[in-house]
């Protein structure tokens, strides 16, 4: 019946008059995109990931990016390239951040912040109990991104190849699929 134009000029398609008006509005509401967009994802997938073994996990103070955010104690868990944070007594995370294309900055006295390169003013603040813990987390977070890992692997692979004339992935018997991920075939 109506063509819906969403923020950013994206058309949402037409919706036929089907079902009760309230139900239609509810379905429409699910589809309306906010300024950042609302991508669908499977919550169980994310939950399953949050239960995987963590690279690092600790109780830290955490403050969200909004003005006037209060520092809260959270169990923060780094799993692959995701950062999950839990209320200290709950099994399910409150939230998750994808650690790609982000910047980790030290914040005095013993804390750090994470911001995303596309939106550097929005910072997620974390407070550690010591400078040592802070450095440990900052290092781990910087190494967490898929892109950083891939860059590192490609760097070492190329350097070793330059020095030995051989592709180290061959020597280690690393699979063809893994080599694809390292973009060895791309210009």
Partner 1 sequence: MKLHQKSVLSFFHGYRTQAPDREGILLKKGARSISYQRRWFVLRGNLLFYLEHQADRTPLGLILLENCQVEPRLGATEPYAFTILTPGVEGTEGGRTYKLAAENQGELAAWLWALAGVSWRRLVALLPPLEAQYRELCQAAGQEPSSPPEDCGFLATLSPPSSFQELHEHFGKEIRVLQVVRRGLQSSDNRGSRSQAKGEQELNSC
Contacts of partner 1 in 143-172 (CB under 8 A):
146-164, 167-169, 172
Do strands 11-15 and 2-5 pair parallel, antiparallel, or not at all (unpaired)?
antiparallel
> Which one of 59, 107, 119, 131 is in contact with partner 1 (CB under 8 A)?
119
d(CA 54, CA 111) in angstroms, rounded, equals 20
> Which one of 92, 107, 131, 132 is in contact with partner 1 (CB under 8 A)?
92
> Which one of 58, 97, 110, 140 is in contact with partner 1 (CB under 8 A)?
97
Regarding 140 and contact with partner 1 (CB under 8 A), the answer is no
> Which one of 93, 104, 111, 138 is in contact with partner 1 (CB under 8 A)?
93
| Nearest residue (CB) to partner 1, 116 versus 137 | 116
**Whole-number minimum distance, CB 151 to partner 1, in Å?**
5
Q: At what angle do helices 146-164 and 131-144 cross, to 10 degrees?
A: 70
Regarding 87 and contact with partner 1 (CB under 8 A), the answer is no
3-state secondary structure of 128: coil
Burial of 137 (0-12, 13-18, 19+ CB in 10 A): buried
**Whole-number minimum distance, CB 35 to partner 1, in Å?**
9
Angle at 87 between CA 86 and CA 91, to 5 degrees: 65
| Residue 51 and residue 40 in contact, taking contact as beta carbons nearer than 8 Å | no
| Nearest residue (CB) to partner 1, 22 versus 30 | 30
68 φ/ψ angles, rounded to the nearest 5 degrees: 80, 10
Task: Give, as ranges, the residues between 15 and 54 that touch partner 1 (CB under 8 A).
Answer: 15-16, 27-28, 30-31, 33, 36-52
Burial of 115 (0-12, 13-18, 19+ CB in 10 A): middle
Residue with tokens 């210009």: 187
User: How many residues at the interface with partner 1, by CB under 8 A?
Assistant: 83
Regarding 56 and contact with partner 1 (CB under 8 A), the answer is no
> Which one of 80, 110, 136, 140 is in contact with partner 1 (CB under 8 A)?
80
**Whole-number minimum distance, CB 130 to partner 1, in Å?**
25
């Amino acid at each position: 019946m109506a063509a819906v134009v969403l923020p950013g000029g994206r058309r949402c398609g037409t919706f036929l008059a089907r079902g009760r008006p309230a139900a239609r509005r509810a379905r429409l509401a699910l589809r309306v995109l906010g300024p950042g967009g609302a991508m669908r994802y499977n919550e169980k997938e994310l939950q399953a990931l949050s239960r995987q073994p963590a690279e690092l996990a600790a109780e830290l103070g955490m403050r969200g990016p909004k003005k006037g955010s209060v520092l809260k104690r959270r169990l923060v868990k780094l799993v692959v390239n995701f950062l999950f944070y839990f209320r200290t007594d709950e099994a399910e995370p409150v939230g998750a951040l994808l650690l790609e294309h982000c910047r980790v900055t030290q914040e005095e006295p013993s804390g750090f912040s994470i911001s995303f390169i596309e939106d550097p003013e929005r910072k997620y603040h974390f407070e550690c109990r010591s400078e040592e813990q802070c450095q440990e987390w900052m290092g781990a977070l910087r190494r967490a991104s898929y892109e950083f890992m891939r860059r590192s692997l490609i760097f070492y692979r190329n350097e070793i190849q330059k020095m030995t004339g051989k592709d180290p992935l061959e020597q280690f018997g690393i699979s063809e699929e893994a080599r694809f991920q390292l973009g060895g075939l791309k210009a």
